[in-house]
Chain A
Amino acid sequence: MHRAVLPRYLHPFAWWGYALALVAASSLTTNPLLLGGIILAVSVVTLSSRGDSPWGSHFHLYLWLGLFMVVMRIAFRIVFGGGGGPTVLFTIPEIPLPSWVQGVRLFGPVSLESLLTGLYDGMQLAAIVICIGAANSLANPKKLLASLPGAFYELGTVIVVAVSALPQLGESLLRVLRARKLRRGPRTRTRRDRLRFVETIIIPVLSDALERSLALAASMDVRGFGRSERPPPRNRRWSVVTGIASIVLLAVWSFRFVAKTPEISPFGVPLLSTVLMLGGLGCAVVAIRLAGGTVRRTQYRPIRWRAAESGVLASGVLVAVLVALVAAGDSSAVLAPTVVPLEWPTLTPLLAVALVLAVVPAALAPTPERRKVAA
């Protein structure tokens, strides 16, 4: 048996990269066949590769959330009438609204076209949510936090501590609730008593939590937490400067993007926009590098980036690229099937290939480790 197929966790960045690429692909289309295919592919990959890890057991919640979004979108179309269409399916008596609520209609005729619009929109949102959910279920969250660049290190620590402190808070709450039964009081339910109820529980629990957090802080300190070399002032200054530069560049870029400012586009590439965006991102990377450079810290049992990781990431990116190619090409209409006139959604061969690529990680990723971590 080759080492590459032994059970292990895949690098969390690979899963997130794959999922975000599929999010990008979903955002380019309202074609229900393509969206349904993406949802199916992501679900197959998640169910086959999530293992029995505690964070993987909630994927079905994301599926329900997706379904809920579709249902809500369609329900909105029915309740608020939506855009009309020639094919009226049924009519609900309209509720007359006062004249000052203009542009809103309650009930009335329901057309097939408006229902389909709701379905397509809803499916797009559902696909995006489910892709994110898949990344959450597949990637080991602790390894994800540990893999973040040094600048996000404090944030990661806060989350780790919060996750382990929450059950303790619950325990002390139970203990105090139980102890409270011991101090009998006259059983009258006045407002003052209810306030006292809060007081008798909140104060012991919070003072407990405060004492514990002080103990934790001391413990982290003596074990070397935050032992960073003092950053040279020049380094600090540069990280602030590049950080601000990146925010400014990205702000100008997004403004131009939203306002659709016309510009020179040699070879079909919008020149100024591209420069602004790349410059902004580059500055952000430099700023994060500089800010995190002082944290000397290593990771226990890091997950190495191997072939499987590249494969998973590549299949996700390829899906996005194929969909983008279709969007830029002649048959871009297939990505947004029209509702008026009603048209049966179809797939081109290129999109079918994309869907097959989206399932590939199910076969590519090694099975995750058996659960060694008690929930």
Chain B
Amino acid sequence: MIRFENVSFRYRHDTPLRLRDVSFTVEEGELCLVVGATGSGKSTLLGCINNLVPRFTGGTRSGRVIIDGVDTSHLLPRELARTVGYVGQDPMAGFVTDVVEDEVAYSMEQLGYPADEMRRRVEETLDLLGIADLRGRALRKLSGGQQQRVAIASVLATSPRVLVLDEPTSALDPVAAEEVLAIISRLVRDLGTTVVVAEHRMERVIEFADSVLVVGDDVHYGPPQTALLRSPVRPPLVELGVTLGWSPLPLTIRAARRHGSEQRRAWMELPPALGRPETAGPAALTGRAVVVTYGDVVAVAGVDLALHAGEVTALMGRNGSGKSSLLWAMHGAGRIDAGTVTLTDGSGIALVPQTPTDLLYLTTVEAECAAGDRASGRPVGTTLALLNRLVPGIDPASHPRDLSEGQKLAVVLAVELAGNPPVVLLDEPTRGLDYAAKNVLTEIVTTMAAEGRAVLIATHDVEMVAQTCSRVVVMAEGEVVSDGPTRDVLAGSALLAPQVAKVSNPIPVLTVQEYLDAC
């Protein structure tokens, strides 16, 4: 269905190749998962399928792309609109109209479908994706998962042979992501559409995938089990399987539990010694009966929360459960309607917002750092030195917006940390970060805690919480529903348990490292 023949791509003749001699064939009706670290060229590869690369990005591409037996190398993206449907990361950014029904019809209007056929297809597509009840709603007012489903519907309406999705869930919370991925796997099974999807929440799609494209210095194509062995990024389950040499490599919890049954029995006889979190230091930030309301919507309903020095706390809960509101209220920059927040050590509190780039407006990293020094009254160079300690190797002369997501986050963190605040709040820092960037973040957070800071991370990322945090607070509808050591909260929960804990259940082992240590 999709055949790449020696495709190479570079932005300019003097820059290195982004893709080198890529050749592979995706068969009809396959679900192909594209994996690779951020910046490895996943998006470039996906863009080559419908010629957004190089038509839209500039650069030179060589080699041939053949779709459905037709050489499409020289066609414009719009001429491929009937053949290839493309959905990007942020659904809101791709919407042209403002109402669901119009958006679904937009593509067909452009392609000149007759009115009666258009009407029929819109109805069918709305039903197929289960969004018929949303048809008259404003796109802006939908939840993230609904928006992404509308985006998929709007390209599916013309029944393209190939559907390309570039990280369709990276901006969504886990529930919404689940919703979208379920739809994708259904499309493959029911319609036989060929789907190529780049996804960093690999663990959720890997069991449906027929093949995997690993993008790195070279591009490898193969069935999931073998291709993942070469992948630089792997979900914990696969990591565990690879390290323990399980064969065939388990892709589902069910398969992994079969491999691990012996080990579990051994653990039942002789429970492993699992680390307990050290007793936390004194309270650094205490909120009492914090209430935040917007009109008649109660975002935070009287929450008591104390953060302790040297402790990393995770704040979890679905979107709209009041995590961000609580964070901003605790910081003092956000709205707070009732309750008190006391900072034990008066020297400050830092908050990194969800979109860290909102804080960056100067033209170089160096200038941003200098501004950080001035704002906190530190000697010149403090922030830059801090940044180098956090993430070495960022060129101080580069533009902040050219950095990778992880590097941007590090710059903002450095600027915020320059004043040496004893309390640090992070609002969804893992959004859009791949495994490598998350590892960097984990290191930074661990260092901050070791320096005696109290850290609070609002996040959906269970695996990262299992690795970094010693305490978990779960919110729902503005209230705290559970608060305790990570092992107790995560391992005991059906929804929040990390993959390794699901494999080892009922023994509360959380991470791959713990599992290996306990063996």
Contacts and interface: CB of A to CB of B under 8 A. Distances in A.
Interface of A: 142, 160-161, 163-164, 167-168, 175-176, 178-186, 199-200, 203-204, 207-208, 211-212, 215-227, 296-302, 372-375
A219 B111 contact: no
Interface centre among A208, A223, A226, A299, by most B CB within 10 Å? A223
A298 B138 contact: no
Interface string B20-51: 00000000000000000000000000000010
Interface of B: 50, 52, 55-56, 76-82, 84-86, 88, 90, 92-99, 101-102, 105-115, 118-119, 122, 135-141, 154-155, 158, 328, 331, 333-334, 350-351, 353, 355, 357-361, 371, 374-376, 401, 415-416, 419
A223 B105 contact: no
29 contacts: A161-B96, A164-B98, A168-B92, A178-B328, A182-B350, A183-B371, A184-B419, A204-B358, A204-B360, A207-B357, A216-B94, A221-B77, A222-B52, A222-B78, A222-B80, A223-B78, A224-B78, A224-B81, A224-B82, A224-B158, A227-B79, A227-B111, A298-B108, A298-B109, A300-B118, A301-B105, A302-B115, A374-B136, A374-B137
A142 B415 CA distance: 47
A142 B79 contact: no
A164 B415 contact: no
A183 B86 contact: no
Contact of A301 (B55, B56, B96, B119): B119
B88 A223 contact: no
Interface centre among A226, A297, A300, A373, by most B CB within 10 Å? A300
B81 A223 contact: yes
Contacts of B102: 142, 300
A223 B164 CA distance: 12
A223 B106 contact: yes
A301 to B, nearest CB: 6
Given A207-B401, A297-B109, A298-B108, A219 B115 contact: no
Nearest to B354: A175
B109 A160 contact: no
B110 to A, nearest CB: 4
Given A183-B359, A300-B119, A372-B136, A221 B88 contact: no
B97 A160 contact: yes
A182 B353 contact: yes
A203 B368 CA distance: 14
Contacts of B95: 164, 216, 219
Contacts of B52: 218, 221-222
A92 B355 CA distance: 64
Contacts of B122: 300
Contacts of B371: 183
Contacts of A222: 50, 52, 77-78, 80-81, 84-86, 155
A164 B416 CA distance: 35
Given A221-B77, A227-B78, 11 more contacts: A168-B140, A175-B355, A218-B56, A222-B77, A222-B80, A223-B154, A224-B78, A226-B78, A297-B112, A372-B135, A374-B99
Given A223-B110, A301-B119, A373-B99, A216 B361 contact: no
Nearest to A221: B77
B361 to A, nearest CB: 4
A167 B50 CA distance: 30
A181 B93 CA distance: 26
A164 B139 CA distance: 9
Nearest to A202: B361
Nearest to B122: A300
A299 B361 CA distance: 43
B361 A204 contact: yes
B333 A300 contact: no
B112 A182 contact: no
Interface centre among B92, B98, B135, B328, by most A CB within 10 Å? B98
B136 A373 contact: yes
B78 to A, nearest CB: 4
B436 to A, nearest CB: 23
A328 to B, nearest CB: 44
Contacts of A203: 361
Nearest to B419: A184
